[in-house]
Structures are given as C-alpha cells and as structure tokens.
Structure 1
Amino acid sequence: MTENMLMGILKEAISTGLMIAAPILAISIIVGLIISIFQATTQIQEQTLTFVPKLIAIALVGLLTGSWMLHKMIGFTERIFQIISTIVQ
C-alpha cells in the first residue's frame, strides 16, 4: 500500500463522512437558529423547547435521506473491499 493510496482512502472516508452527516447537521443548525430567534423575541427561556423540534426535524431528515446515506456508505465499503482485495493479491 502506497502513501498516495492511503491518502486517497482517508480523503474519501472524510468526504463520505461529511456528506452523510451534512443533512442532519444542517437541519439541526437551522432549526436551532429558528427556535433561538423565537425564544429571543418572545423571551420564553424554556430549555426543552429547543430539544423537541430538533428531534422531530432530525428524525424527518433521517427518514427522507436514510436510503441515500445507506447507499453512500455501501458504496464506500465496497470500494474499500475492492482495494483490500487488490492489496492481498
């Protein structure tokens, strides 16, 4: 295994991880920002008010993008197994 091959695998692993995590992180940040603005304008300082909408939004995003995330992870895993099989031979 060469250094370039290892760097390519690490680069692909990081980019795959970021692509998989991005939708959930983005919706969590957006919902949190909206709830924070709502809390600031109404002066409601309830700590559980941010938790439930974020949880619902993350669950919806997980349901909507779950198959896409699974296909990305399966594709990455297949590429890793192909690389492993070429190294062994």
Structure 2
Amino acid sequence: MQDAIFFDTLRQGLWIAVLIAAPLLSVALVAGVTIGLFQALTSVQEMTLTFVPKVGAMLVVFWVSMSFMSEKLVEFFTRSLLPIIAGG
C-alpha cells in the first residue's frame, strides 16, 4: 500500500471519529458547565449532582444521534475501507 493512500485513509478515519464524538462531547461540555454554574451559585457540592445529569444527557444524545453515527461509519467503511481491502 502506498503511503499516500494510508495517510489519506487515516485522515478520513480520524475526521469520522471527530464527527461521531462531537455531539456527545458538546452535550457533556454544556451539561458540565451548566451544572458547575448551578453548584457555584447555590454552594451545593454534591458529586452525584454532576455525574447523573451529565450521563443522562449523554445517553439521550447518543440515542438520538445513533443513526447518524452508524450511517457515517458504514459510509466510511463501504467507500474507503472496502475498496482498499479488495485491492482496488
């Protein structure tokens, strides 16, 4: 395999990973900042208050964006990886 094909496929795979992780990471960031602000304003320092809502929000976003994630992975596999594996 040529180096250019390898690095181009690696770059595409990393970009797909960023696209797939972006919804989950953004909702975790927003939930963390919101809960941190709430804790700072109310002086409540409960550990479960930060963990449970963040995980719940991430589960909801994962459930909603699951079709987008699997669609992107299947598209990457069929368009980029299968032709390389097949030798074309």
TM-score in terms of structure 2 length: 0.94
Name the aligned partner's letter for residue 41 of structure 1: L
Unmatched 5+ stretches in structure 2? none
User: What stretches of structure 1 of length at least 5 have no aligned partner?
Assistant: none
Aligned to 1:8: 8
Secondary structure of the structure 2 residue equivalent to 1:13: helix
1:4-34: CA deviation from partner (whole Å, max 9, x where unpaired): 1011011001000010011001100110000
The CA RMSD over aligned residues, in Å, is 0.9
Structure 2 match to 1:43: 43
The CA distance in 2 between the partners of 1:56 and 1:7, in whole Å, is: 37
Offset at residue 86 of structure 1 (A): 2.4
SS at match of 1:37: helix
Off by >6 Å, runs of 4+ in structure 1: none
Distance 2:21 2:84 in 1: 24
CA distance in 2, matches of 1:53, 1:47: 11
2:81 corresponds to: 80
Count of aligned pairs? 87
Give me the TM-score of the superposition, normalised by structure 1: 0.93
Q: Which residue of 1 aligns with 2:34?
A: 34
Secondary structure at 2:87 match in 1: helix
